[in-house]
Structure 1
Amino acid sequence: MQTKLADFIKHTRDGDEAEAILRACVHCGFCTATCPTYQLLGDELDGPRGRIYLIKQVLEGAPVTAKTQTHLDRCLTCRSCESTCPSGVRYGRLADIGRKVVEQKVPRPLPERIKRAVLKEALPRRWLFTPAVKLGRLAKPLLSKQLQDKLVAARPAGAWPQRVHARRMLVLQGCVQPGLAPSINASAARVLDALGITLYAAPEAGCCGALRYHLNDHDGGLDDMRRNIDAWWPHVSGEHGAPHAEAIVMTASGCGASVKEYGHLLAHDPVYAAKAQRIAAMTQDLSEVLAGLEPQVRALAGKAAYGERVAYHPPCTLQHGQQIRGKAEQVLRAAGVDVALCADSHLCCGSAGTYSMLQPELANQLRERKLAALDDTGAATYASANIGCLTHLQAATDKPVLHWIEILEQALKLS
């Protein structure tokens, strides 16, 4: 795709990256067939190819309207199009660049600005979000239906293992997961403890940065990333006598997709570029870690079977963002769990970070499709690998929706 960038972005870091991405697109349209919003709306401008044209026009200096913003806002950034694209177009990065420019050129209505500001300021702060969740659960009947849906029932975390092993790995606590589902990291710690690995957190680390970054606050998102690097660095470098961690484990695939991009996103920062590259290289999704321990998992499970079928929804940030497929299912099967994938398992459930709060109508339509497909598997329990997917799906079903590590812990009879 030939481009002629406008002066305001020509020869800038974002401009050079966007131009390279645009030139990789060959207009084939394969991406359209796997785009959830195009399937729902049937509008070319609500599919990847149409949005690429819109961003191209914006970067070439064409007038930007609220209509342009609407079509870009409707994108889930699920990156299913990237998995389909034969040319390797990095659509997710192009969308981030295009949205940022549009945000600067098209003022949003005041209520929308307030809503986005609240999301950017409240969700990434664990010290604020976790107490708010506890208070919200107490006052749940008084809240709006949208907020009630997000406040899934609390599951007790249980005891964190106290043994110290020679092998040590860091885990990201994150921002919303400790408040909504502290049981996830605790389950991961107990499973890894049984396999001879100590899992621990650096208290200073917080939101991975994706939340602000994808809400067009790139500077705020990058600051969150720098804070995490500072928190983890002593543990990966051995400085200041901190215990050495061999990996940084992500139990939320959305965070994993973000942290694995730190090296690219901070490549322009002379202070953090090298550290960001190392942090990204050390980051692994929990399924990657446990897939490497499959024989030990199988031995720990023995011949016992889990006893019921589980339908697994692979999050977009895992299968498209990180290009990891099959590993969580592989580990669960090694522990005797009957795991099924639903039809169209490559499609988004509609959660997509803050998307379900900003585009609830589309998000709920996608959730209905996903739950219908999961129900068709005949499973009694659903599983996923990202806190956003878990809470979004659980809000509309009576069947339990768990993180797959919680199911693995049950299968291994560790709790």
Structure 2
Amino acid sequence: MQTSFTLAQLADPDFAASNDILRKCVHCGFCTATCPTYVLLGDERDSPRGRIYLIKQMLEGGEAATEETVRHVDRCLSCLSCMTTCPSSVHYMHLVDHARAHIEETYKRPFADRLLRHLLSRLLPDAGLFRLSLRLAQIARPFAFLLPGKLKGMVAMAPKHLPKASAVDQPQVFPAQGERRKRVALLTGCAQKVLDPKINEATIRLLTRHGCEVVVAEGAGCCGALTHHMGKEADAFAKAKANIDAWHRELEQHGLDAVVINASGCGTTVKDYGFMLRSEPEWAEKAAAVSALAQDITEVMRDLGMKPSGQARPLSVAYHSACSLQHGQKITALPKQLLAEAGFTVREVPEAHLCCGSAGTYNLLQPDIAGRLRDRKVGNIAGTGADVVAAGNIGCLVQIAGGLEAAKGKAMPVLHTVELLDWATGGPRPPALAGLRD
């Protein structure tokens, strides 16, 4: 693709990077076949190729984003399926991130939209505020029909029962069982530790059982992905820097073999810290070092080697491959291999490349499209006939569980992959499996 950025624009690292990305695109259209929004809507502007044209026009013009461009960029899930499909290695993720930052800077959204985005950017990354907002949503649930538009859907999505906060999410060190093989930092996250603290508990048990000393570092928190994908760069970068400081301090003072992440949406972002902060000399080297340490929990378990205890029941598992894991991090077969090693029968989910519709805040900002994708995903999962559903990202787990509940079909427990691996190697039976007959 030919571009016509000015020399002044190309002096900006973000424009220079976008120029390089755009020039790799050869208009082949392979990406349209695997783009969830194009599959649903059939509008070229809701395909990666169409959005690339809109973004190119917006950035080259150097002017405020138009309503049309904003509408179609907003509909992008950032599932990154297009990057898996693309034969030219177009790095769409960095391009759409730049586009969203430009939109945030130049486009004035309607008041209701601005208010909703502001609330989401404040509440979701802050565990305390998020927990409070869910409590309020539970109180408001009987009156949800009185609420306007998207607020009604947000209240309806709040869990009926909110688990207690877990002590493992506080800064501390968990010693390895037996000989220490690795020292790792765990990202405990933000929304995940409110919605399902059992995931971090299972992760720590699994790691320490396999010889890891696990540190929850002082000062580490939200990875910044939620606000980064909303175009709020300053907020996202501040969160990234807080994590980088916390983990780099651990690296220098006590050593770290990995930064372990059990929410794949966070993992894709942390692995990108080096790129995000490449233009800030005081941060670039530390950010790159942290990105190099970042590993999904399945990558760490591959290196450690699974030690199944034989206590877990041999269930069939419909494994949902989160977009951020399979497309963002290119981790596809590994989780299924680990589940099989643990004694579970893994069943493939049809259309596994298509997003479930969660995508960070997408199911809150684009509920209609997200709902259609959720129902499609749930139908494909139910068709496997599996006993349980497993995935490696909290957003997917909540989205799929809500879809299965709404469908009122076969009751299928939905849980994190790490909960099954923990159970299979000596941990407690996951509470989600309580309803299954032995």
Q: Same fold (TM over 0.5)?
A: yes
Contact 2:137 2:158 in 1 (8 A): no
Contact 1:171 1:201 in 2 (8 A): yes
What's 1:353 paired with? 360
- Structure 2 residue 419 is the aligned partner of structure 1 residue 406: yes
State how 1:105-144 maps to structure 2 within 5 Å: 105-137=106-138, 140-143=141-144, 144=152
State the Cα distance separating 1:381 from its structure 2 match.
1.2
State the Cα distance separating 1:125 from its structure 2 match.
1.5
Inter-CA distance 112–197: structure 2 relative to 1 (3 Å threshold):
same
State how 1:267-346 maps to structure 2 within 5 Å: 267-294=278-305, 297=306, 299-302=307-310, 306-346=313-353
What's 2:159 paired with? 151
Structure 2: distance between partners of 1:229 and 1:192? 22
| TM-score with structure 1 setting the length | 0.93
Structure 1: distance between partners of 2:204 and 2:143? 36
Q: Which moved more, 1:63-72 or 1:171-180?
A: 63-72
What's 2:265 paired with? 254
Structure 1: distance between partners of 2:349 and 2:338? 18
Q: Secondary structure at the match of 2:218?
A: coil
Q: Secondary structure at the match of 2:185?
A: strand
Inter-CA distance 114–364: structure 2 relative to 1 (3 Å threshold):
same
Structure 1: distance between partners of 2:202 and 2:56? 45
State the Cα distance separating 1:162 from its structure 2 match.
5.3
Contact 2:342 2:421 in 1 (8 A): yes
Q: Which amino acid aligns with 1:87?
A: S
Structure 1: distance between partners of 2:47 and 2:233? 24
Identity of aligned residues (%): 43
Structure 2: distance between partners of 1:231 and 1:155? 27
| Runs of 5+ unmatched residues, structure 2 | 145-151, 406-411, 429-438
**C-alpha RMSD of matched pairs (Å):** 2.0
Q: Which amino acid aligns with 1:283?
A: A
Deviation per residue, 1:172-199 (Å, 9 max, x gap): 1111111111100100111112212122
State the Cα distance separating 1:258 from its structure 2 match.
0.2
Structure 2: distance between partners of 1:158 and 1:118? 25
Deviation per residue, 1:8-47 (Å, 9 max, x gap): 7342111101110000000000001000000000011000
State how 1:205-224 maps to structure 2 within 5 Å: 205-224=220-239
| Runs of 5+ unmatched residues, structure 1 | none
Q: Which amino acid aligns with 1:263?
A: G
State the Cα distance separating 1:157 from its structure 2 match.
7.8
Number of aligned positions between the proteins: 407
Q: Secondary structure at the match of 2:113?
A: helix
Q: Secondary structure at the match of 1:300?
A: coil
Inter-CA distance 248–152: structure 2 relative to 1 (3 Å threshold):
farther
| TM-score with structure 2 setting the length | 0.88
State the Cα distance separating 1:200 from its structure 2 match.
2.6
Q: Which moved more, 1:352-361 or 1:128-137?
A: 128-137
Q: Which moved more, 1:53-62 or 1:41-50?
A: 53-62
Structure 1: distance between partners of 2:166 and 2:419? 12
